[in-house]
A = this chain, B = another copy of it.
Amino acid sequence: MSDLTEERSGTLSEAMERGHLFAEACPSRDVLKHLTSRWGLLVMIALLSGTHRFSELRRKINGVSERMLSQSLQWLEEDGMIDRVSYPVVPPHVEYSLTPMGREAAEKVRALADWIEVSMPRIDAVWAEKRRKAD
């Protein structure tokens, strides 16, 4: 066996039979999907720095289309991760922010994203090594 993490408190992932994620048609799959989706992940991380308007998110998240930004925001709002506040003015003014629960999720998501960022050099090295062997 390995470290304590599993034996002491790792009853969640360890007990796969009981975990929702290992069940086939489970709503937790959808939540995970929204959080880790192409744009959902970036939305969550972006909102960690505070409330944003739609257009602010659009500018900040380079490459996202209006369609997908809107879609991602709706998913995450339905999951209770994001608060959407619309001010009935002209022109429209809508603000998005993380709920307390959303902030917790966003921090987990960011931990994963940050790990990948800092680990990319190592991963690149793996790829380079494989290419070298392939020759």
Query: Nearest CB to that of A80 among chain B residues?
Result: B126
Chain A interfacial residues counted at CB < 8 A = 61
Chain A interface, DSSP helix/strand/loop, else mixed: helix
- Tell me if A112 and B114 are in contact (CB < 8 A): no
For A16, A35, A62, A111, the residue with the greatest tally of chain B CB atoms inside 10 Å of its CB is A111
- Tell me if B120 and A115 are in contact (CB < 8 A): no
- Tell me if B60 and A16 are in contact (CB < 8 A): yes
A32 beta carbon closer than 8 Å to chain B:
yes
Chain A positions near chain B (C-beta within 8 angstroms): 1-2, 5-6, 10, 12-14, 16-17, 19-24, 27-29, 31-32, 35-36, 38, 41-42, 45-46, 48-50, 60-63, 78-80, 101, 104-105, 107-120, 122-124, 126-127, 130
